[in-house]
Amino acid sequence: MLVIPWGMDSIQLQALHYETLLKAANGAEAKAAHAFEKAVEYSIINESLVLHTQTYAELLGVEASAISNAYYDIRPVFEAMDSSVHILGWDSPHWPKQVDSFAFRPRFLYVQGNESLLSQSSVSVIGTRSPSLEGKQLALATAKSLTKAGYVVASGLALGIDGVAHKAALATGGPTIAVIGTPINAFYPPEHRDLQLEIAKVGAVVSRFSPATVTQKWHFLLRNRLMSALSDASVVVEDRDGGGAVRQAAFALEQKKYLFIYQSSVDNHSILWPRQFANQSRVFVIKKSQDLPRLLNQAKKTREGVGKPKQKAVQLNLF
C-alpha cells in the first residue's frame, strides 16, 4: 500500500525525496542521483520518506539525522508550492526527451505554464545584459522572425537581450520559454517579475531547481546548458568574451546543436569569441535575421552545418 502524505501526488513526493537527498549530500547531484536511483529500485520513492530514513541514510552514506533534518527543512517548501507549478520527471508525458543524452541532465523540472512547449521546436535568443542599440534591434528582429516562422523563442529572462527577445516573441503573438537559473518561486531579476508572470500565463517558465534551492552563481551555467539542450539552435545576438551567452554557444556545439552569430559580432575586433566560433561546423554567420529560419530549416533537413573547422577548437569544457 502506498503512503503518500499531505495530499501530494506521486511526482511531488519523488521530487521531495530527491531534494532531501540533494540537501543531505550538500548539493552533490551525482551522489544524490545515485542514491535516488537505488531508492527507485527498492520501490520506496512513492512512500513517505520518514518510513525509510535509515535506508536513505545508508544509500547516501550519511547519518540518519542528516536525512531527517534535510527532510523537515524542505517539506514545508513543497507543501507550500503553488498549485500551478508542474513537476516533470523522466517518465512524465511532457518530459523533453531532447535533453536526455546530454551532460548534467536534471532529475526533475519545475514548470509554470504550458509544459508541452518544452518539446516543441525552439531557438534560444541570448546575449549580454548591457546591449547596444544595435543589439536590442537585432534581438527584436530575431525573435520576431523566429516566431513568425513557427519557432518558440527561448531565453533566460535576464536583463538586456533576453528580456527583449521574450517581449518581442509575446508582442508577435507567439509563446516564449523562460529558462531560469533560480527556483520557480523566485523572481530574478526583480525587474522582470511581471514579465515572468506573463510568460507563465501564455508560455512556459522552467527551472531545474526546486523551490527549496538556495541559488548559487554557477546555477546559471546549468541554466544555459539546459536551455541549449531544449533548443534546436542558439543565437548569440551580442555578448562580451566569457559572457553567459558565449558559454551557451560552446554548450550548443558540444551538444551538436546549431549556432548562429551575426556578422556585426564577427566584425567587432574588440571581442575574440565570434571568430573562434565562426569557422566551425554547425555554425552560421548571418547578416539578417530573416535568413535565420530558412538556414535552420535547411540545416535540420540535411543534418549539416556550414564551414569546416579551420582553427583550433574553442574550449568546450566550460563547466
Q: What is the pLDDT of residues 46-79, one digit of tens each?
A: 999 999 999 999 999 999 999 999 999 999 999 9
Residue-averaged pLDDT of the chain:
92
Q: What is the pLDDT of residues 170-200, one digit of tens each?
A: 999 999 999 999 999 999 999 999 999 999 9
Of 117, 101, 113, 85, residue with least CA distance to 205: 113
Sorting pLDDT into bands at 50, 70 and 90, what band is 91?
very high
CA–CA separation, 171 and 148 (whole Å): 11
The distance from CA 191 to its chain's CA centroid, rounded to whole angstroms, is 20
How is residue 170 written as a grid cell?
A: 509575446
CA distance 109 to 119: 13
- Length, in residues, of the chain: 319
**Whole-structure pTM value:** 0.91
C-alpha distance from residue 153 to each of 87, 107, 144, 201, 208 (Å) = 22, 24, 9, 15, 19
DSSP labels for 169-195?
Answer: HHHTT--EEEEESS-TT--SSGGGHHH
Place of cell 531544449: 230
Contact 237, 142 (CB under 8 A): yes
Place of cell 546548458: 225
pLDDT of residue 2: 41
Tell me what pLDDT residue 303 has: 73
